[in-house]
Amino acid sequence: MTAEPFRSQLAALEQRGRLRSLMPRSGRDFASNDYLGLAGDAIIAQSVADAVARGVPVGSGGSRLLRGNAPEHEGLEAKAADFFKTQAALFVANGYLANLALFATLPQRGDLIVADGLIHASAHDGLRLSKAASVFAAHNDVQSFADLIAAFRAEGGKGRVWIAVETLYSMDGDMAPLADLTKLAAKHDAMLVLDEAHGTGVFGPGGRGLSSGLDGLHNVVTLHTCGKAMGTEGALICGPRVIIDYLINRARPFIYSTAPSPLMAVAASAAIDRIEAADNRRDRLATLRQDAAEAICGPLGLPAPRSQIIPLILKDDVRTMAAAAALQKAGFDVRGIRPPTVPAGTSRLRISLTLNNGRSDVLALGDHLRRLVR
């Protein structure tokens, strides 16, 4: 097999400013999803060290349905169900696998999935594997969701409707209109699939997310990732017991994947305790948002941030990556985001506020951004 087709495609990406490469960590953290600064938390680390000392293995040894099901997995799932106030939970390796499993498994042939137009790539990949038809609503436009459902029924669609959104969008930093979507779902007897990847830990009482209060409804399935504000790894699918049992029996991404390390289940369990008691951290993060509003958003003509994610849209791919490189050279780890991660013509700097930084870091970044962008 010749490598030439791959070389030419990589060269074309480079010419368009879209070639990707792995970079070492360096500079002040304005790129990670470690929003509460828990990735290096000593208490979570100690919980893992204690587990190793008592003989909990590093490897799971197989899939959950073979010999890979450990007491630590089941303990985490019971704790997560209690914490998020749902009937049951299922621990999987990561959020990508979770979305793949959800959309490839739950909607049935004859159903319709109405997904937000900016939903995560992992959901898109799950939709491609689904037996159900799928359509995309205009971003955060409840009327667009309603119109698509009405069109499905008008065309004779009899199956169940599934409404799929992120509660907090990872590249735009805005939030889904959950109250209105919940009413729409109730009106149409639809299922709601809510991806809380960037909301868990940061919002809601005890860090339960923006969907707090909805998790226990019979028509709601939530996804809480552990690798962002929780500072660990993996993902928790939460919902009615029958949904979780069905995933265990039918979700190929779950059935045929080696189970996550039992040690990571221990870490995620400790992380639940940490985010529940993290009101002070959430307050500090909210203060950083205010600092960013004054030092970054105001001077650059951006709206005040509603979340810890601030997009600075520069449109052009090459310009975006040049700006990111300049910031990195100045000691700020800000990454450029290009298509296909975001729509064409919306390349951006994604500024992520985390407790790995303080007010002085935000002010310094704002000063560099003002000089760079202008």
Res. 4 pLDDT band, cuts 50 70 90: confident
pLDDT class for 1, splitting at 50, 70, 90? Answer: low
The answer to which of 8-17, 30-39, 98-107, 246-255 has the lowest mean pLDDT is: 8-17
Q: Is 170 helix (H, G, I), strand (E, B) or coil?
A: coil
Both 219 and 350 in one domain: the answer is no
* Active-site position among 228, 233, 269, 357: 228
**16 — pLDDT class (breaks 50, 70, 90):** confident
374 pLDDT above the threshold of 90? no
pLDDT for residue 245: 98
What does the pLDDT look like over 159-195, one tens digit per residue?
999 999 999 999 999 999 999 999 999 999 999 999 9
- For residue range 208-239, what is the model confidence (pLDDT) as tens digits? 999 999 988 999 999 999 999 999 999 999 99
Indicate which CATH number applies to the domain containing 344: 3.90.1150.10
5 in a structural domain: no
List the Cα angle 306/35/200 in 5-degree steps: 75
Asked if the model's pLDDT at residue 25 lies above 90, the reply is no
79 catalytic residue (yes or no): no
Q: Per the residue annotation, which of 198, 224, 291, 361 is the catalytic one?
A: 198
Which of 29, 34, 111, 195 is an active site residue?
Answer: 195
Judge whether residue 105 has pLDDT over 90. Answer: yes
**Closest to 132 measured CA to CA, from 155, 160, 156:** 160
- For the cut 90, the answer to whether the pLDDT of residue 278 exceeds it is yes
Note if 116 is an active site residue: no
The reported pLDDT for the residue numbered 275 is: 98
Same domain (yes/no): 123, 244: yes
Q: Does the residue 213 lie in any domain?
A: yes
Catalytic residue among 170, 269, 307, 347: 170
Clarify whether residues 30 and 57 are in a common domain.
no
Query: Do 78 and 224 share a domain, yes or no?
Result: yes
Burial of 218 (0-12, 13-18, 19+ CB in 10 A): exposed
The reply to whether 238 and 332 lie within a common domain is no
Full residue range of the structural domain in which residue 309 is found = 18-36+279-373
**Among candidate residues 276, 299, 325, the one where a domain is terminated:** 276
Q: Are 89 and 236 in contact (CB under 8 A)?
A: yes
Domain-located, residue 113 = yes
Q: What is the pLDDT of residue 194?
A: 98
pLDDT digits (tens, 9 = 90+) for 334-353: 999 999 999 999 999 999 99
Which pLDDT score is estimated for 215?
82
Residues 72, 214 within the same domain: yes
The one catalytic residue in 73, 79, 120, 224 is 120
Task: Give yes or no for a contact between 207 and 229, defined as CB atoms under 8 angstroms apart.
Answer: yes
Whether residue 25 is found in the same domain as residue 62: no
The single-letter code of the amino acid at 256 is Y
Kindly report, residue by residue over 281-310, the tens digit of the pLDDT.
999 999 999 999 999 999 999 999 999 999
User: For the chain, what percent of residues have pLDDT higher than 70?
Assistant: 100
Q: How confident is the model at residue 256 (pLDDT cuts 50, 70, 90)?
A: very high
Tell me if residue 276 is catalytic.
no
pTM, whole model, 2 decimals? 0.94
Considering the domain boundaries, does residue 66 fall inside one? yes
Residues 62, 152, single domain; the answer is: yes
pLDDT at 363 over 80: yes
Asked if 283 is an active-site residue, the reply is no
Same domain, 265 and 347: no
| Choice among 9-13, 107-111, 158-162, 284-288 with the minimum mean pLDDT | 9-13
Alpha-carbon distance of 333 to 336, in angstroms, equals: 10
Residue 4 belongs to some domain of the structure: no
5/63: higher pLDDT: 63
- Give pLDDT tens digits for 63-75: 999 999 999 999 9
Residues 64 and 196 grouped into a single domain? yes
pLDDT tens string 76-95: 999 999 999 999 999 999 99
Give catalytic status of residue 155 as yes or no: no
DSSP collapsed to 3 states, 57-77 = CCCCCCECCCCCCCHHHHHHH
Composition of the chain by helix, strand, coil, percent to 5: 45, 15, 40
Residue 11 lies in a domain: no
Q: Is 166 a catalytic residue?
A: yes
215 found inside a domain: yes
336 in the same domain as 189? no
Structure tokens at 154: 């008008």
Check 41, 166, 196, 291 and give the catalytic one. Answer: 166
What mean pLDDT comes out for the span 139-149? 98
In a shared domain, residues 367 and 237: no
Domain count, the chain: 2
**Which of 217, 243, 276 represents a domain boundary (last residue)?**
276
Query: Among 276, 294, 325, where does a domain finish?
Result: 276
Could you tell me the CATH number of the domain that includes residue 156? 3.40.640.10
The answer, yes or no, to whether residue 19 has pLDDT greater than 90, is no
Q: Which of 29, 33, 99, 212 is catalytic?
A: 33
188 is catalytic: no
pLDDT (mean) for 126-138: 97
Task: Compute the mean pLDDT over every residue in the chain, rounded to the nearest whole number.
Answer: 96
Q: How far apart are CA 166 and CA 223, in angstroms?
A: 9
Residue 68 lies in a domain: yes
> What integer pLDDT is reported at residue 24 of this predicted model?
85
Q: How far apart are CA 175 and CA 187, in angstroms?
A: 22
Q: How far apart are CA 114 and CA 116, in angstroms?
A: 7
- Is pLDDT of 319 > 80? yes
